[in-house]
Amino acid sequence: MSTELPERVEHDSLENYRRKYPGGDKSDHTFGYKLEELARTIPNRPAFIQGDRRVTYKEFDDEVNRLANALLDLGIKKEDRVAVMGFTSIEWKEISYAVFKIGAILATINPRQHHRETLHVLKDSESVAVFLDDEYIDVIDKIRGDLPLLKYIIVYRRTGKEVPVGMLDYEELKGRYPTTKPKLDWKVTNEDICLFYYTGGTTGVPKGTVWDYENNVGLTKKNMGTSLAGGELIEHLSRLPRKTYEVIGGMLPVPGLGPIVGRLLDSKGVRRILSYELIKESIAPLALALAETPLIYRIMGGNWLIKQMPVSQLFHGSGWTGPNALQIGLGCTMYFLTTSHPFNPKEFLETVERERINVVFLSGNPFFLPVAEELERDHYDTSSLFVMLSPGALLTPDVKKRVLDKIPGLVIMDEIGTTEDLSAIPSIHTAEDKKFTTCVPVVGDIKKGVYKSQHPSRVINPKTGKDVKPGEIGEFIAGGCMCNGYWKMPKKTAETFREIDGERYIFVGDDATVDEEGRLKFVGRSGTMINTGGENVYCEEVEDALHKDPKVNEAIVIGVPDEKWGEAVTAVVELKKGETATEEEIRNSLRDEIAGFKIPKNVIITDKIEKTAAAKVIRREWKKFAMDKLGIRE
């Protein structure tokens, strides 16, 4: 069985994705400008900390300038594509900002994917250079002969491997150039394209989401200013426990202030004053105004208010969007784990304790469950933690409870979001909640059919385009900050990004329902995507790979609930007559075909896969079949 790929064009123009904005010809909403603003305003504040390495904003800007000057000398110019392949590191950040500073476009590569997918990203993006962690030298060596446009391979040495002939050493290259700001023969503006963020395609082929500076920098900072005072936590202020307010008070630089702030904010009078309407109409606009001035850099962030640590990888939108918004909006310090992959919960908790981290980003049960287990195994001082975010993946209730039992002052926000859209729809819980759900409470106007968190969102009937009534299932669509489209995919762009009543929305393909109180609940994927451990896996891609096994007659792939992975990729397989195979043999047959995280965790061999009269399978029925076989309950 094969699935037709979405329509792609061989050649595309950036002009097809360029959007106009008021003041779009300025450069104040570019990453280069924001970094220079930070380096100028708070030069000695730590920008990044990874293990023993501590880099101030001034030092970081200097290193970015060195690399930017090197790229210019290599002949890389505005709108050239430069790819980066590696796990989270300070080098990854240096590379991205150097690319942005010269007006080139960054293309992201997930190093966990199959080498054929890496080849596709480099070809599709038309990258002229690629930066890679030395662990992936062999991967690039295998495919470089098929990449005629790729001129430069630049290796940053993480494991100490020698850089092969024909590749450039990152530190040696950068060290030959000055720290002066690069001189450009062109202007970089808010409307320029800055980023191709690659995400899974509808059949597993990565597709490039096209971003300009205004959507990724300007609106990000504005939304951060708004969300500081008027975002997701507003409607929950009245129910946050005193312990949480004590943690917030403890983030301020006055010893012993935490309990005082906790008692003050826990009082009924203050809670009554901190109404949603007051914050929305008065405090949020003030925060928005502050977010547009360097003043906020001086009074917030760094060692004074917010220390953040993204554990989600930078090549995922979940590791880029939120942490980047905090850094641009507040000038806070960003911490990285020394071992960014694989995740080490002990190192994570030791870092939280040692560095007094306040905000962390880690996606889904694959990260939260090991943290819960480590907290139950040993004691750590996590009293500095205010919020743990799970962007892009909803947690199971039992895992939330286990973490909150050990960190009573914590707020957990698990968010639904996509690489295509910076909007995030959160579910928020504290230790005092008696019930942990996967419903997403949102602030909005249920009578008007518009549900708002940070951004407008709706649930519509896909046939009529009208908003559904409470209790009805419809298609979830999101507004707000979103990419400009899919590179070389005009048809997919037109289908996914549409205007309704003058507002641009992204049709993300999720089914949802809304109750009488305006609480949003996601029902499932209307397509065939599985989110396992924060990675997207498309059923058709795995099915196609299974059908290449000469022993397989038919195969159905579905996702089933899993405590560790959120969803576990599961294959139901019908073998050809007379053939025999074990589950492990089936899995082994896929190792050269697809990335490791796409290989089914469960393989169920059955006598016959029944289809409908129209030769189709009903996935929800096979999901129930698989869950029954595996002894899994909803």
- CATH number, residue 626: 3.30.300.30
Residues 480-498, buried b or exposed e (16+ Cβ, 10 A)?
bbbbbbbbbbeebbeebbe
Angle of helix 219-230 relative to helix 284-291, nearest 10 degrees, comes to 150
**590 within some domain:** yes
Per-residue pLDDT at 196:
97
Considering the domain architecture, whether residues 545 and 420 belong to the same structural domain is answered as: no
Residue pLDDT, tens place only, 10-38 = 899 999 999 998 888 999 889 999 999 99
Q: Residues 509, 364, 519, CA angle at the centre, nearest 5°? A: 55
**409 within some domain:** yes
**Among 234-243, 318-327, 532-541, 597-606, the least confident range:** 234-243
Per-residue pLDDT at 614:
40
pTM over 0.85: no
Provide the pLDDT confidence category of residue 230 given band limits of 50, 70 and 90: very low
Considering the domain architecture, whether residues 336 and 375 belong to the same structural domain is answered as: yes
CB 307 within 8 A of CB 86: no
**110 within some domain:** yes
Question: What share of the chain in percent tops pLDDT 70?
Answer: 77
Considering the domain architecture, whether residues 161 and 227 belong to the same structural domain is answered as: no
Provide the pLDDT confidence category of residue 98 given band limits of 50, 70 and 90: very high
Per-residue pLDDT at 446:
38
Provide the pLDDT confidence category of residue 479 given band limits of 50, 70 and 90: confident
Cα gap 410→404, rounded to integer Å? 6
Which residue among 392, 409, 437 closes a domain? 437
Which residue among 390, 407, 437 closes a domain? 437
Q: Mean pLDDT across the stretch 491-520?
A: 81
Q: Mean pLDDT across the stretch 163-192?
A: 95
Give Dmax over CA atoms of the chain in angstroms. 76
Higher-pLDDT residue of 324, 444: 324
Considering the domain architecture, whether residues 223 and 80 belong to the same structural domain is answered as: no
Is residue 448 pLDDT above 50, yes or no?
no
**Among 40-49, 383-392, 500-509, 514-523, the least confident range:** 514-523
Considering the domain architecture, whether residues 256 and 354 belong to the same structural domain is answered as: yes
Considering the domain architecture, whether residues 380 and 260 belong to the same structural domain is answered as: yes
DSSP code for 145: G
Q: Mean pLDDT across the stretch 493-513?
A: 84
DSSP code for 591: T
Per-residue pLDDT at 236:
55
The CATH number given to whatever domain includes residue 276 is 3.40.50.980
**485 within some domain:** no
Per-residue pLDDT at 378:
95
**17 within some domain:** no
**Among 68-82, 84-98, 221-235, 560-574, the least confident range:** 221-235
Is residue 596 pLDDT above 60, yes or no?
yes
Per-residue pLDDT at 517:
67
Q: Mean pLDDT across the stretch 567-577?
A: 90
Considering the domain architecture, whether residues 115 and 221 belong to the same structural domain is answered as: no
E strands of 89-215, at which residues?
Answer: 105-109, 127-133, 152-156, 168-169, 193-199, 207-212
Question: What share of the chain in percent tops pLDDT 90?
Answer: 41
Spatial CA neighbour of 441 closest among 377, 515, 354: 515
Q: Residues 140, 142, 146, CA angle at the centre, nearest 5°? A: 85
Per-residue pLDDT at 447:
42
Provide the pLDDT confidence category of residue 227 given band limits of 50, 70 and 90: very low
Considering the domain architecture, whether residues 144 and 235 belong to the same structural domain is answered as: no
Spell out the residues 6+ positions from residue 568 whose beta carbon is closer than 8 angstroms to its own.
Answer: 532, 559, 560, 561, 562, 600, 601, 602
Considering the domain architecture, whether residues 128 and 255 belong to the same structural domain is answered as: no
Domain extent for 419: 217-437
Cα gap 530→525, rounded to integer Å? 8
The SS3 call for residue 142 is helix
Considering the domain architecture, whether residues 117 and 246 belong to the same structural domain is answered as: no
Q: Which residues pair with 389 in a beta bridge?
A: 361, 413
Question: What type of residue is 487?
Answer: W
Provide the pLDDT confidence category of residue 141 given band limits of 50, 70 and 90: very high
- C-beta neighbour count of 339 within 10 angstroms: 12
Higher-pLDDT residue of 632, 61: 61
**Mean model confidence pLDDT for the chain:** 82
**149 within some domain:** yes
Residue with tokens 């979940």: 318
Is residue 482 pLDDT above 70, yes or no?
yes
Provide the pLDDT confidence category of residue 284 given band limits of 50, 70 and 90: low
**Among 206-220, 351-365, 515-529, 550-564, the least confident range:** 515-529
Per-residue pLDDT at 390:
86
Per-residue pLDDT at 220:
56
Per-residue pLDDT at 312:
87
Half-sphere exposure of 228 (CA within 13 A, CB side): 25
Provide the pLDDT confidence category of residue 226 given band limits of 50, 70 and 90: very low
CB 424 within 8 A of CB 322: yes
Residue pLDDT, tens place only, 295-325 = 666 665 545 567 899 998 888 887 888 888 8
Considering the domain architecture, whether residues 155 and 224 belong to the same structural domain is answered as: no
Higher-pLDDT residue of 81, 244: 81
**Among 182-191, 271-280, 336-345, the least confident range:** 271-280
Is residue 52 pLDDT above 80, yes or no?
yes
Which residue among 437, 452, 468 closes a domain? 437
Q: Mean pLDDT across the stretch 396-418?
A: 84
Q: Mean pLDDT across the stretch 112-133?
A: 94
Per-residue pLDDT at 266:
65
Per-residue pLDDT at 70:
98
Is residue 225 pLDDT above 50, yes or no?
no
Provide the pLDDT confidence category of residue 370 given band limits of 50, 70 and 90: very high
- C-beta neighbour count of 196 within 10 angstroms: 26
**449 within some domain:** no
Per-residue pLDDT at 375:
97
Cα gap 481→420, rounded to integer Å? 9
Highest mean pLDDT among 229-243, 349-363, 423-437: 349-363
Highest mean pLDDT among 118-127, 406-415, 506-515: 118-127
Number of domains in the chain: 3
Per-residue pLDDT at 509:
75
Cα gap 513→519, rounded to integer Å? 8
**617 within some domain:** yes
Per-residue pLDDT at 454:
47
Considering the domain architecture, whether residues 256 and 355 belong to the same structural domain is answered as: yes
Per-residue pLDDT at 178:
97
Higher-pLDDT residue of 538, 343: 343
